[in-house]
Each structure stands twice: as C-alpha cells, then as structure tokens.
Amino acid sequence: MEVSASILSVNEAESAHTFYRLELAHIDYFHIDVMDEKFVENNTEEMMKMYADHLKNITNIPLDVHLMVEDIKKYVDIFSSNEPRNITFHIEATKNKEEIIELINYIKQYSKVGIAIKPDTDVEKVYEFLPLIHTVMIMTVEPGKGGQKLITGTIEKIKKLKQYIEENNLEIDIEADGGIDTENIKKLKDAGVDIAVVGTALINAKDYKYTVNQLKM
Ligand code: DX5
Ligand code: ZN
C-alpha cells in the first residue's frame, strides 16, 4: 500500500517541520488538495500552490495533485510547473466524453492522469476511460474538507472496480481518498486499494514513522 499524505490540514507556521517529518516517515507522495470555491465550497488555491512550490525546493517525494475544481485546464496550467507525478480531476466537473478525452491528453503533457469520482457517482462512469489513465481516485468522503469519517458504502465500489480491472487485465491503480486511518486501512487494502490518501489521521499523529508503517502494513 502506498501512502499519499494530504497536506490540506498542515498549518503554515509548522509546515516546513511537518513536511520534513513526513519525508522522514517515508510517505510515497505529498497529496495536494486544490479547491476552487466553485466545485467545492472551500478555496485552497493559494495555500496549495505555496506548499507545492515549497515542496519542489525541499524534497524529491512526488506530488499527487487532486483538483477539486471546475476549470480543470486552468489549474493544470497553474500546477504543471511543480512537475507533479499525477494530476487527478473529477469526472463530475466535466460535460461529456470528448471533454474528458481532451483533458486526459492535455494532462498527459505534464504528468500521469487520474480521474476521481465522488461517493454518489457510479463507478461504471469511468470504465471507458480506464485504458487511457493511470489511477482512479475513489472518494471515500464527500470532497471539500479534511477530518471527515470514511463512508463505508464506498468500499463496495472499490471491490467492484477492482473486479472490473482484473477481468479486463487493465494496468491501473486504485487510489482512495478521505477519512482513512490505521483502523480502516486493512478493509481498503483487502478491497483492492493501491494508494491511500491520509490527512488528519497522519498529520495529527504523534509519531509519523510509526503511523506510516501502520498504514503500509
Ligand atoms: C477532501 C480531500 C482529501 C482529505 C483527506 O476533499 O480530497 O484528500 O483532505 O484528509 P482526511 O484524511 O482528513 O480525510
Ligand atoms: Zn484529496
């Protein structure tokens, strides 16, 4: 299981120290939660851009950019200079198949591509795009803020997606995002999750190394 640390709840005053502790704990990615106050009610653009710029200067750990935005191209352009490993956009922010294909190709100029779906979106909606992308992000909370409880109904979606991926011999990672902790991570792993996004449960932990090891079991 890879761990992508959501830095949404990292406070600015301690950010350099927190990033350093996360690096020592061997997280696999820094998860950059970009919110535009349109697709979701919060706005994290400035803070996430500041953190992404800062991280590029202090670490080689790759950036996992999660766009919770309506104007996807605008934010791909803003974050492409941070050379992210992955850029994930929400299928609910797109109008049709043509637009999705165009966005996939646009993002591929800069990084790997992920498509995210909200808890209420059927997983079948992404099936036709799976051969073109690298990860599917299953939101296990309603996007928009950290510190929420994992919605257990989403685990069935992960199992269904995993089965479809295996039946069709697809090379694609399943990323789960929201409310993940050392208690529920085993269920997610058993369901087929490859990358777990963890925010609050890690950022608020006393011992990052211990917690990341627990999450990676
Ligand atoms: C929610 C974000 C998640 C969230 C994860 O909209 O996409 O990445 O910050 O944080 P926790 O682990 O606190 O749910
Ligand atoms: Zn996220």
What average pLDDT score do residues 151-177 get?
Answer: 98
Alpha-carbon distance values, 35 to 9, 168, 197, 215 (Å) = 13, 33, 16, 26
Beta bridge partners of 33: 66
Bridge-based pairing state of the strands 173-177 and 2-6: unpaired
pLDDT at residue 217, as a whole number: 84
Q: What percent of the chain has pLDDT over 70?
A: 100
Is 181 one of the annotated active-site residues of the chain?
Answer: no
Ligand 2 midpoint to CA 33 (Å): 5
Residue nearest to atom 12 of ligand 1 (CA): 199
The domains located in the chain, with CATH, are 2-216 (3.20.20.70)
Cα 151 from Cα 142, distance rounded (Å)? 9
Average per-residue pLDDT in the chain?
98
Is 177 one of the annotated active-site residues of the chain?
Answer: yes
Question: Does the pLDDT value for residue 192 go beyond 90?
Answer: yes
List, for residues 45-104, the tens digit of each pLDDT value: 999 999 999 999 999 999 999 999 999 999 999 999 999 999 999 999 999 999 999 999
pLDDT at residue 113, as a whole number: 98
Asked if 180 contacts 197 with a C-beta cutoff of 8 angstroms, the reply is yes
pLDDT at residue 186, as a whole number: 98
pTM across the whole model: 0.98
Ligand 1 midpoint to CA 5 (Å): 9
